[in-house]
Structure 1
Amino acid sequence: GLAERGYAYGPAFQGVRTVWQRGGGDETEVFAEVALPEELRADAAAYGLHPALLDAALQTGTIAAAAAADGRPGRSVMPFAWTGLALHAVGASALRVRLVAGPESMTVEAADETGGPVLSMDSLVLREVATDRPATHAGSLYEVVWTELPPVVAGPAPSWAPVATAEDVPALTGAPAAAVLVATGDGDALALTSRVLAVVQAWLTAELDDSRLVVVTRGAMPAGDGVVTDPAASAVWGLVRAAQTENPDRIVLVDLDPADGAGPEPVLGAVLATGEPQLAVRGTTFSVPRLARVTVPAAEPPPSGFGPDSTVLVSGAGTLGALAARHLVVRHGCAGWCWPAAGAGRPAGWRSWSPSSPGWAPRCP
């Protein structure tokens, strides 16, 4: 079964109703009927294709791979990548799925209960996963660390021009080495990011490939003391980072020191000389974001519970109280236990656990 191969699906993702197969080898066709659980069907109209229904459709390939066929053992696989995905209809709550296996991938087609096309996928790649050993995640967690750069020797001050709005970009003349956009928030993240987005879009359509757009913030990043003083400008960093990924070597992000009121002019030449796309300036130190493994401190051992140093108050009299006391001494090695009252308050047989008995060490009057 799937559970024996390491698969475990919650109630929302148990949508596979029927699976059958036709053919074999590299020309195997797999068919399935999948549907959302009854409690999720009302949500189907809110999605192009409900995530749980899409997952159920892809489980068809998982089930086919897990089944032994043609003398070959089944495999434990997970969806890895797909290409050519097209959504032909929205709001489906049930699907009829057809998968055709190829040498390295499979094609996927899905229709609704009336036969109307809902989904097609040119290629679905499954990758085998190991289930014979527990997964280890030691050392797999990373964090962004601001790392100090060595001192940078800057050349002559570069030519630069300020830009504040998208209209300023086409007005630039002479192709300066840098166009500087100062982006400080004043608490309004939406207005700030909208203005920066308009400038970035204008910059990327302008014929200024030899120039750099330098977006300057102040206190937007937790470099140095780890304090962010302009959260609205932090949103600018998220926006511009995405643009940098799509358009390398066109935009530079610089976060100035919130404790220093100087503008970007004194550091602009050094910033461009580093060749780094993202920098933070704190005093005379330049820092850049780098990924580093998270060091997890060793966990403290859990409390040992009852042990030789434990003293246990047994407040109940009777046979159960005596049995509890005997268990604590014999099983857990408790060195001390006591009854709150003398004489009649103690259960019958308590004298067998007197100070002469092993493990007895009175700790209370």
Structure 2
Amino acid sequence: MSHTPPLSPAVTGFSLPLGWVRVLPGVALCGAVAASAMGLQWLELSLVGFAWVEALVLAILTGAAIRLLWRPGPYWMAGIRFSAKTLLEIAIALLGATVSGAAVMALGPWLLLGIMAVVALAIVGGYLIGRAFGLPHAMALLVACGNAICGNSAIAAVAPVIKAEGEDVAAAIGFTAVLGIAVVLLVPVVGAMLGYQATGIGVLAGMTVYAVPQVLAAAAPAGSAAIQTGAVVKLVRVLMLGPVTLVLGLMQAKRDREKGDTRTRPGFWQLVPWFIIVFLGLLGLRSLGMIPGPVLVPLDHAVTAMTLMAMAGLGLMVDPAAVAKAGVRVASVAALSALMIGVMAVVAITILGMA
């Protein structure tokens, strides 16, 4: 098998830094997958007049289908990772400009408390389910935090705090990626079965789906109101990452002292995602009327394009082998934890009267 060497700036004819040149093939691949997803959505609209499966979901499924048939090599992976992580984070950060502070305030204090309660109970309940299935302490915590907060990002942030092993992290991330796709597909169906309006579907998506872009995919069939509500609810869940990692860090410190282990842990501010800070900053500027109206439409288009490419990258990174190696127990715990969170979300929506 021949190996195509990485492109160099001299070959491309541009003066781009080598790091940027290396990501171009994978980014182009994600762009092609995103474009195909848009094409499939257009085909849906042409044939049935309605997009039963939105482009964001189609991008994930198309990427995952390609990954099942073909494993991208190093030539592609740099750009795929860039799309799945960096473009995703940029899209989330810019999304802040499309959400007004009034939307956050409109959620009300009771919904805010409900979100925090669901996250806390989901972590405790998920951990107990994991331990009941015989998972080690660290693995049970990783799965619980991944399901309760924001999937891979939460697992990546919590892992160094609780000193999880690499195998545990890989297994937790593998199942989160697959389960995240299932949750995205199920939320619109469950919302429709329960008769939820846009707000209810947005809250359901925000409380159950792992990543912000995936929230957009799950809420999109219910319209822009559901998307905005879901994004804000999800933001509150993501912001719980800071307090949760701090508490887990304190608990781990106690365990370390008992074992005589004094290895250092990352500081609290290292665990605050930069894109959340930018999101909040842009949200504040939008609320103060400091972002010109004409900028919002192209900005929204840019967010959509980057989100599509990020979802394509996430699909291309689903690793069937890692999922298979993790075993039935981890799969069962992850699925039961996700189901538990879904039930909690439905109960919260019912109690708060937001259906």
TM-score range, shorter chain: under 0.3
Higher relative contact order (CA 8 A, sep 6+): 2
* TM-score (norm: length of structure 1): 0.20
Higher helix share: 2
User: Which structure features the higher share of strand residues?
Assistant: 1
State TM-score, norm by structure 2: 0.21
Kindly name which structure, 1 or 2, has the bigger radius of gyration based on alpha carbons.
1
